[in-house]
């Protein structure tokens, strides 16, 4: 019998009586998006604009002997042709930190336009700008490529072998021990360790070891990559693009094109999905080079096949995991060997995968070895909680098995071992106040968990997950207008409703109606530096910046009132949007009334926010899913899904629910269908959304959500960040449910009908 | 013999050793403008865009009985038709302060689209949006107007008569005594008084009285008014326009359309001249109404005839002036009766004319009565030093006569009577430190003044003038980029090089190169409130805001350095762009090095500036001009022109010189040729730039300038504002030179060949 203790210091404080936070107002950008009038990158149309197209490698691995563009240049209507020779020679090879999905500058450079080698099918080689897209495409066909083909390496374990074809003979393994003596496809070997792994396993009563595999999968945003550039005569560059971070695009362009930051203006258009894949640049620098040559704006848009073949999927993985528990159910040791494939250039989310894999658990002895391996596939990019879902697939599958072996239900097992305030993780970090325990408890108490599930071939699975979230930098200004409305100028791409959540936090802080605030996403010439919308940082950090700006505005309101009323500032109170004088109850001005007097009492009232948060709020989730497996076809149907998540404070609950539902949908796709299906030559066989099978509304039930609110104590409004963790548990939750339904453990994703039938022994 | 004393307290301080201020760098917007790629309102091209045209009154004065737009609406290609019935009914009739050129809201409303009456030929009545401009024009011809014509009144003195046709039977005279009992064309009677006017004249030894007349003249900007509007489905309005103040356009639209300020985004395009005429809106609200009806963007551009017939000229004036001096040359009394015609709605710059007329002089007894009178001509708008040139024409002509009568040369007479620090003006203001005395002295010492001028029919004239300048509100942000470049986001329309002068002041304040700074003119969603570029306020107030922002950046740089160096902030020095530690000489970081460390030492470094200057720096000027009059043709040739001006501190001397040269050119046009030539029915006979004769480069010599620098003690860099005062003296200077050449005083402008020949008695 297990004696479960509630962790100490885990009392949730009473929620403040918010007026705006927690409501569900209409989003300011909603109508325009719904009726199709919001402006995306594809809507750009400039006088004299040219259209750019990219010539891509037909093979997965080759030396480039020569590129002859002379015939293409002569085609009427062609205004510019560029190759890697047109990219400036880099002066350094620094690491470009993009929040998520950074990388070495030289690799980014070679991925933009291949120089010495092509490293994957679809690798960009040359580009043409012409007066219409058809001429540009025709010109591509006139470019003569002389390639010396090389054998590709596609599997990361094969790529690690000493005799594997090398993608780059100047690439060495970086590790704590230093740099390897011989070149290798292993770009990095990292290690996390805590306790004594051998002593740990020696104490274990039950040990399970398994090998798990996941495929490369794509973020699957609806809107393809696009970019329009105008390189002015005065060497100022303007770029319109779909991006998660205009400042990241600006920084990448500045480093790649050797143009100062202040001379580049990046205008973020509305974004049709990103999920981490719209951070690294692909087309923008090429469009800029073409524009400089042509003296006209150049617009580029990818086809779906280009998106799938040449933009960032996330890593396929191999994870060998061994965990040990004592017979009372306490986890005592875990050891992992993790291989993440980066695609052509080191870019895998290995580190985050290593950190998140065992994050839900308090395990005293852990050793994790991780390997970042290059293969002849597209350079990976960040994808929602980068690295964590594949890792959680391994850990949460194995935890499920262990729970069974010690005779505990999977939620009790998880709660006994739940990481909490003070838990030291294998990466060295110590957890702050988190809601892991509360999520598991809410799952145990949920109607779903307690509902019967009796039919044959049906199963219920659970899984937990963590994403530590991120803060990063947000800079914004809030300008009080003379009619009491407020213009909130921010620099965060609005992907999931952050215009609304920023405006709500400002309304809350100022005690004024949400409708008084007009949030606006500015370009890089109009606001200070903002990190990308990613890492689940925007509602957290931009909200924090909003709070700072509101405090500045409040101070000015109080100063003005004190001046008007000829009293001390300490005698002025500002509460619920009303200024009052503590010493004279007749004196009273609403926010709107004071705004009307602003210009005559000291000028424009503007608040700026530029916080630099150091402590973030990790987010935990526990998911429950019911499935039904069709033993004849192998098809898995999701019957019911409940996602329980500690959201800190739900600023706009509908958007939080939407984020969770979206994350679950993507996770289910990853679990059941999505796969990068390469042939032996490294050609992607399913480079279309017909063949690359994402879940549709017909594949999913309504995703139920339970919002647990354990406020983040370091944030003014307790915000944690909610967008990423919901994709972490679904892979394992679905696999665990299938195991429950079939009695069969599946260790490799996706669990499409083919895989299920093979697992059930129905086909070979 | 006059004993002239140099005024006390007039020592000019030594000029600081500026590094950037006073140099002449290339302007950041120069290349794009020179090669024709800068984007003006006419360059706007949006998907689905419609073209709007305006139906204008064919007569100068009429009741509108009915407007039948049904046939126009049926014309294929027509997407919307609007009349004044589509403008929301106003909820108030407040005064709209636009810095320059404000007015009553109801008048602005009626001027946008006439409701009950049309008040001048060219008055807008209805507007059509169609798929191309030709269809829109054809549709205008299908609108059936039923007008009841009324007799127009065109001369302000006639309009003041009790039996004159009334433009508005609800218009009463406002004066200090209150509101008149009967309606009147006299909108306002104002009075400035100091001393005892009768006692003053009683002490005078010499008295001269004259009546002066000037015509309406136009600002004459090259770029016609334009405006494109998109009224979104969520009731957000975006407007692209050529304006001196995006925030002024936003405020006017908000008041006229009853939409909150925060829901209107005004994007200022480059501006092809304004001079005060691009502050009041004409097309923008009409384009917005059309866009709301059509659901598409609507672009409108005026023809030149529309610009001349329906946008803001400045007032024609009648000024009766009487001045008395003692025989030692000291001015003792001045009395004026000033009539300014406002056009159809009260909008004349009467107040500024009254204040500026005698501003260069210290006169103990003054009485000025001013009248603002409506006539059946277009509503006037601000025009460079609004009201002052016509007033200075009167005062400076008469001062010239008085100087002759007391036997003094005109500069000595002016210097004896020069207003200075402490001079109390008739409007009640007391002058701060000014450079009037220094300008007259510089004129007396100039090579031009001391050069011989001997040929017959040649004459030399001088005149002084003042513009008090303005401060107003500027709001901006300066963001330090990670490579040490700085993005300066400001909200002031750049007319005369203010991008450069703002960047120069920031470079000076931060001790970094001018080239590191990228100044950017933001739209209203991207920056706090900024007043219009007008009143000669921009280099002054935006420069002040730049200085404030720089101080904030410096404070942050010092904080970061102290944190990095683990020393006290007081031990950190920042001089000439370098941080040093006073206690450890090995510690040293340049601005660029610190910028590179900004993100990791506390986040984005942003400085905001939102000053509210209360004290401005009046600008004085004295001009010298040589003319030759052809007695056969009456043509006046400008032989030589020298403009001497107290510029405070010349931030960019080339732009200061350019402003002075431009002001002189406009003043010479006003003196010699420009005139609104109406027939008796109130139809403008010269509504084209062929017939409305502005001076060309062939009409003018190189304008020489002498920059006197008496720093404005209230501004961080001594800036006064330089753009307006140069248009004040030329009218009188040219008239005085012609008097000197011909021996004949001319009291009415323009002095075109016809007028000169009549004055010389050559024609009747």
Nearest chain B Cα distance for residue A599, angstroms? 8
Answer yes or no: are the C-beta atoms of A128 and A78 closer than 8 Å. yes
**What SS3 state is found at B539?**
helix
Among the listed residues A593, A485, A506, the one whose alpha carbon sits nearest the alpha carbon of residue B250: A485
Residues A125 and A267 both lie in one domain: yes
Instruction: Give the separation between CA A472 and CA A721, rounded to whole angstroms.
Output: 12
Chain B environment of A292 (Cβ under 8 Å): none
> Average pLDDT of chain A?
96
Answer yes or no: are the C-beta atoms of B407 and B225 closer than 8 Å. no
Residues B289 and B323 both lie in one domain: no
Calculate mean pLDDT across residues B177-188.
Answer: 96
Nearest chain A Cα distance for residue B62, angstroms? 36
- Percentage of the residues of chain B whose pLDDT score is greater than 70: 98
- A569 found inside a domain: yes
Residues A123 and A236 both lie in one domain: yes
Task: Answer yes or no: is pLDDT of B2 > 70.
Answer: no
Residues B544 and B679 both lie in one domain: no
CA angle (A499 as vertex; A494, A502 as ends), nearest 5: 120
Residue A637 sits at the chain B interface (C-beta within 8 Å): no
Contacts of A762 (CB under 8 A, 6+ apart): A631, A634
The confidence score (pLDDT) of residue A469 equals 96
Residues 459-488 of A with CB under 8 A from B: 473, 475, 477, 479, 481-483, 485-487
pLDDT in tens, B651-669: 999 999 999 999 999 999 9
Residues 668-727 of B with CB under 8 A from A: none
> What is the full DSSP assignment across B274-316?
-TTSSSS-SSHHHHHHHHHHHTS-EEEE--HHHHHHHS-EEPP
- B215 found inside a domain: no
Residue that terminates a domain, selected from A256, A288, A310: A310
Q: Cβ–Cβ of B260/A475 closer than 8 Å?
A: no
- B764 found inside a domain: no
pTM, entire model: 0.94
Residues B246 and B382 both lie in one domain: no
Q: Which residue range forms the structural domain that includes residue B259?
A: 47-150+222-273+278-310
Residue that terminates a domain, selected from B562, B587, B609: B609
How many A/B residue pairs have CB atoms within 8 Å? Answer: 162
Task: Answer yes or no: is pLDDT of A1 > 80.
Answer: no
Task: Answer yes or no: is pLDDT of A596 > 50.
Answer: yes
Retrieve residue B148's tokens: 């009841």
Residue that terminates a domain, selected from A581, A609, A637: A609
Residues A402 and A519 both lie in one domain: no
Task: Compare all CA atoms of chain A with the CA of B490 and give the residue at the minimum distance.
Answer: A526
- B101 found inside a domain: yes
Calculate mean pLDDT across residues A388-402.
Answer: 98
Residues 327-366 of B with CB under 8 A from A: none
Chain B environment of A516 (Cβ under 8 Å): 260, 262
Residues A493 and A422 both lie in one domain: no
The confidence score (pLDDT) of residue A455 equals 86
Nearest chain B Cα distance for residue A535, angstroms? 17
Provide the CATH number for the domain around residue A650. 3.30.365.10
Residues B428 and B464 both lie in one domain: yes
**What SS3 state is found at B367?**
strand
Instruction: Give the separation between CA A518 and CA A578, rounded to whole angstroms.
Output: 20
Give the closest of B473, B482, B611 to A261, CB-based. B482
Task: Answer yes or no: is pLDDT of A273 > 60.
Answer: yes
The confidence score (pLDDT) of residue A91 equals 77
Task: Answer yes or no: is pLDDT of A2 > 80.
Answer: no
Task: Answer yes or no: is pLDDT of A489 > 90.
Answer: yes
pLDDT range class, residue B9, cuts 50, 70, 90: low
Residue B555 sits at the chain A interface (C-beta within 8 Å): no
How many CB atoms lie under 10 A from the CB of residue A54?
A: 24
Ramachandran assignment for B673, one of left (phi > 0), alpha (psi -120 to 50 degrees), beta (any other)? alpha
Give the closest of A261, A265, A604 to B610, CB-based. A604
Give the CA distances from residue A619 to residues A502, A535, A655, in Å, rounded to whole numbers and listed in that order. Answer: 20, 11, 16
Instruction: Give the separation between CA A542 and CA A546, rounded to whole angstroms.
Output: 6
- B353 found inside a domain: yes
Answer yes or no: are the C-beta atoms of A742 and A459 closer than 8 Å. yes
Measured in whole angstroms, the distance separating CA A246 from the mean position of its chain's CA atoms is 16
- Say if residue A404 is exposed, middle or buried (CB neighbours under 10 Å; 0-12, 13-18, 19+): middle
Instruction: Give the separation between CA A129 and CA B684, rounded to whole angstroms.
Output: 51
The confidence score (pLDDT) of residue B443 equals 98
- B59 found inside a domain: yes
- A566 found inside a domain: yes
Chain A environment of B265 (Cβ under 8 Å): 520
Task: Answer yes or no: is pLDDT of A100 > 80.
Answer: no
Task: Answer yes or no: is pLDDT of A10 > 80.
Answer: no
Residues B296 and B360 both lie in one domain: no
Residues A231 and A93 both lie in one domain: yes
Contacts of A720 (CB under 8 A, 6+ apart): A469, A536, A540, A616, A617, A618, A619, A646, A647, A648, A649, A712
Calculate mean pLDDT across residues B304-315.
Answer: 97
Residues B601 and B623 both lie in one domain: no
Residue B457 sits at the chain A interface (C-beta within 8 Å): no
Chain A environment of B606 (Cβ under 8 Å): 475, 528, 608, 610
Say how many domains are in chain B: 3
pLDDT in tens, A128-184: 999 999 999 999 999 999 999 999 999 999 999 999 999 999 999 999 999 999 999
pLDDT range class, residue B1, cuts 50, 70, 90: very low
- B188 found inside a domain: no
The confidence score (pLDDT) of residue B7 equals 66
The confidence score (pLDDT) of residue A663 equals 98
Chain B environment of A602 (Cβ under 8 Å): 612
Task: Answer yes or no: is pLDDT of A43 > 70.
Answer: yes
Q: Cβ–Cβ of A520/B528 closer than 8 Å?
A: no
Give the closest of B37, B487, B524 to A525, CB-based. B487
Residue A263 sits at the chain B interface (C-beta within 8 Å): yes
Nearest chain B Cα distance for residue A604, angstroms? 6
Report which DSSP code applies to B671.
H
Give the closest of A473, A603, A606 to B599, CB-based. A473
Provide the CATH number for the domain around residue A298. 3.90.1170.50
Name the more confident of B1 and A717. Answer: A717
The confidence score (pLDDT) of residue B4 equals 66
Q: Cβ–Cβ of A529/B481 closer than 8 Å?
A: yes
Helices (H) and strands (E) in chain A, counts: 20, 32
Contacts of B335 (CB under 8 A, 6+ apart): B197, B201, B321, B322, B323, B366, B367, B368
Retrieve residue B639's tokens: 């032989």
Residues B523 and B563 both lie in one domain: yes
Residues 44-73 of B with CB under 8 A from A: 45-47
Residues 493-552 of A with CB under 8 A from B: 516-518, 520, 522, 524-530
Instruction: Give the separation between CA A66 and CA B12, rounded to whole angstroms.
Output: 71
Q: Cβ–Cβ of B599/A232 closer than 8 Å?
A: no
Task: Answer yes or no: is pLDDT of A5 > 70.
Answer: no
């Amino acid at each position: 019998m297990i004696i479960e203790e509630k962790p100490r210091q885990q009392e949730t404080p009473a929620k403040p009586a918010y007026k705006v936070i927690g409501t569900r107002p209409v989003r300011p950008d909603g109508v325009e998006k719904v009726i199709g009038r919001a402006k995306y990158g594809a809507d750009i149309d400039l006088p004299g604009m040219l259209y750019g197209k990219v010539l891509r490698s037909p093979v997965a691995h080759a030396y480039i002997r020569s590129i002859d563009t002379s015939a293409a240049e002569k085609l009427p209507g062609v205004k510019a042709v560029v190759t890697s020779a047109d990219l400036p020679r880099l002066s350094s090879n620094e690491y470009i930190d993009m929040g998520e999905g950074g990388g070495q500058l030289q690799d980014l450079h070679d991925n933009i336009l291949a120089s010495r080698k092509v490293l994957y099918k679809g690798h960009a080689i040359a580009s043409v700008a012409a007066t219409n897209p058809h001429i540009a495409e025709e010109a591509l066909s006139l470019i003569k490529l002389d390639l010396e083909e090389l054998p590709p390496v596609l599997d990361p374990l094969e790529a690690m072998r000493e005799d594997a074809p090398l993608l780059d003979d100047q690439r060495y393994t970086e590790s704590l021990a230093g740099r390897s003596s011989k070149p290798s496809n292993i770009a990095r070997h990292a290690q996390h360790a805590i306790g004594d792994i051998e002593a740990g396993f020696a104490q274990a009563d039950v040990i399970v070891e398994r090998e798990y595999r996941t495929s490369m999968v794509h973020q699957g945003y609806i809107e393809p990559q696009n970019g329009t550039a105008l390189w002015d005569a005065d060497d100022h560059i303007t770029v319109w693009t779909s991006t998660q971070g205009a400042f990241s695009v600006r920084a990448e362009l500045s480093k790649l094109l050797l143009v100062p930051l202040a001379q580049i203006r990046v205008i973020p258009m509305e974004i049709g999905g990103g999920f981490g894949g719209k951070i690294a640049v692909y087309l923008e620098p090429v469009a800029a080079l073409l524009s400089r040559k042509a003296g006209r704006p150049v617009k580029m848009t990818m086809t779906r096949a280009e998106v799938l073949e040449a933009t960032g999927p996330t890593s396929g993985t191999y994870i060998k995991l061994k965990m040990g528990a004592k017979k009372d159910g306490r986890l005592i040791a875990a050891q992992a060997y993790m291989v993440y494939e980066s695609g052509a250039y080191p870019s895998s989310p290995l580190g985050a995968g290593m950190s998140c894999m065992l994050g839900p658990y308090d395990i005293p002895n852990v050793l994790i070895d991780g390997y970042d391996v290059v293969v002849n596939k597209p350079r990976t990019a960040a994808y929602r909680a980068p690295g964590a879902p594949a890792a959680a697939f391994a850990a949460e599958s194995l935890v499920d098995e262990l729970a069974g072996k010690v005779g505990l239900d999977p939620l009790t097992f998880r709660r006994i071992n739940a990481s909490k305030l003070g838990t030291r993780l294998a990466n060295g970090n110590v957890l702050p106040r988190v809601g892991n325990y509360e999520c598991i408890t809410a799952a145990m108490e949920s109607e779903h968990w307690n509902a019967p599930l009796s039919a044959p071939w049906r199963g219920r699975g659970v899984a937990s997950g963590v994403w530590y979230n991120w803060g990063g930098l947000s800079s914004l200004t809030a300008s009080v207008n003379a009619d009491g409305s407020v213009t909130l100028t921010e620099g965060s791409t609005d992907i999931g409703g952050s215009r609304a959540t920023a405006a709500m936090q400002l309304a809350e802080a100022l005690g004024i109606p949400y409708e008084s605030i007009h949030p606006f996403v500015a370009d890089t010439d109009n606001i200070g530096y903002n990190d990308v919308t990613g890492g689940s940082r925007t509602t957290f950090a931009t909200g924090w910046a909003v709070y700072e700006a509101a405090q500045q505005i409040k101070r000015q309101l109080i100063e003005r009132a004190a001046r008007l009323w000829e009293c001390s500032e300490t005698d002025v109170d500002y509460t619920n949007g009303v200024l009052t004088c503590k010493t004279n109850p007749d004196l009273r001005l609403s926010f709107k009334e004071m705004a009307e007097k602003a210009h005559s009492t000291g000028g424009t009232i503007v608040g700026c926010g530029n916080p630099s948060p150091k402590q973030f709020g990790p987010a935990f989730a526990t998911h429950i899913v019911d499935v039904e497996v069709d033993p004849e076809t192998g098809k898995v149907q999701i019957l019911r899904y409940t996602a329980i998540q500690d959201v800190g404070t739900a600023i706009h609950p509908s958007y939080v629910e939407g984020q969770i539902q979206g994350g679950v949908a993507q996770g289910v796709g990853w679990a059941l269908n999505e796969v990068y299906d390469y042939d032996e030559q490294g050609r992607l066989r399913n480079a279309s959304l017909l063949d690359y099978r994402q879940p549709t509304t017909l594949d999913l039930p309504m995703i139920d959500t339970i919002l647990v609110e354990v406020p983040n104590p370091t944030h003014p409004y307790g915000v944690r960040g909610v967008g990423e963790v919901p994709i972490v548990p679904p892979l394992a939750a679905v696999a665990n449910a299938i195991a429950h339904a079939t009695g069969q453990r599946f260790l490799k994703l996706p669990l499409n009908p083919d895989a299920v039938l093979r697992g059930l022994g129905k086909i070979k």
